[in-house]
Amino acid sequence: MAILLSGAAGFIGSHVARCLLARGETVIGIDNLNSYYDVSLKQARLSQLMGDEKFTFHKIDIANRQALKTLFAKTHIDRIVHLAAQAGVRYSIENPDVYVSSNLQGHANMLELARRNQIRHMVYASSSSVYGGNTKTPFSEDDLTDDPVSFYGATKKSNELLSNSYAHLYRVPLTGLRFFTVYGPWGRPDMAYWIFTEKITSGQPLRIFNKGDMGRDFTYIDDIVDGVIRALDHSPVITTDGVPHRVYNLGNDSPEELMTMVSMIEEKLGTAAVKVFEEMQKGDVKRTWADISRARKELGYDPKITLEQGLSNFIDWYVGTWEQAGRKTVSR
C-alpha cells in the first residue's frame, strides 16, 4: 500500500512527505518541477527525501492524464494527498492559462483516477482564497464563497465543487483543506515573509501594499502538516444518503497585522527596513482569519506555533542554510 503525494517538491508537500516517511508510510511523490520559482529550491527539498527507501519520485505533470494512468498501472496506491497546484494570487492575473491546466484539468485528472482506482481517501489542497471578498471574520466553512477576487481563488473554489460532485456521484471519499498563509523553513520565495527577509538582508526597500493596512492568519508549516495528516487519517464517512466530502479550514486562529510581521522580521535581523507604501494590489484581500472550530472538533487540530517563533525559525533557516549556501532567489 502506498500514498501518492502530488506536489512532493513543493513547500507543504515536502514537509508532508517527511512526516509520512517518519511514520513508516510508503510515499510516491510526483511534481512537474516548473519554474514558477527557483527550481533549485524544489530540488533541494527533494534531495532530503531521496535517501529514504520508502520514497520514490516521478517527474509528472498532473495535467497529463496518460502519465498518471501509467503510474497507477504500475503501483498499488490506496490513498492520495493531492497538493500539486499552480500557486500565487497575483501570478494568476498575469497567466490564467497555467491555472486552467494545473488547477482545473489537473485536479479533474486526480479525481478521475481516484474514482477509477477505488482510492480509499483523497485529501486535497484548497485555499483561504476561496473566501474572496468576504468581510465577515473569522471565515467559516459554512460561509458563502461565491465572490473570489482572484482567478487562483476561483480555481480552488472550482476544485471544491468538482470534488463534491465526485463524492456525490461516485462515493469517492474526499477531504478539502483551506490553507491560510502557510510559512516556515523551506518555504515559497513569492510569499511576503520570504520577500521581506530577502530584501532586508540585501538592503533593498520593502513594497508594502494597501499602505500596510492588511492582516493575515499566518500558519506555521508544522501546524499545517499536522492538520494534513489528521485529515488523511480521518476519512469522511460514507452513508446511504450522505456525501463523503468534508472541507476544513487550517489556520492559526490568531491573525496578525502585516506591519507586526515586518517589525518581527526587522527585530530578528537587527535591521530597520526602508518601506515604500503602495495601494492595494488587484486580486488581494485586506484580511484573513480562519474559524478552525470544525477542524478542532472533528480532527483534533490544534495549532501551537506563534508568528514570532515561526518567523524566528524561518530566518534561522534562511540565514543559516539557504543564504549560507550562497543561494539567492529572485522575488516576484
Active site residues: 152
- How many whole angstroms separate alpha carbon 242 and alpha carbon 59? 37
- How many whole angstroms separate alpha carbon 273 and alpha carbon 263? 9
DSSP of 151-174, one letter per residue? HHHHHHHHHHHHHHHHHHHH---E
The single residue listed with the C-alpha cell 494512468 is: 69
Cβ atoms within 10 Å of 205's Cβ, excluding its own: 11
| Three cell numbers written together for 68 | 498518471
- How many whole angstroms separate alpha carbon 88 and alpha carbon 205? 22
| Three cell numbers written together for 74 | 504500475
Q: Which helix (H) or strand (E) holds 197?
A: helix 192-201
- Please choose, from the candidates 251, 275, 248, 247, the residue with its C-alpha nearest in 3D space to the C-alpha of residue 261: 275
**DSSP-based three-state secondary structure for 277:** strand
- How many whole angstroms separate alpha carbon 183 and alpha carbon 221? 6
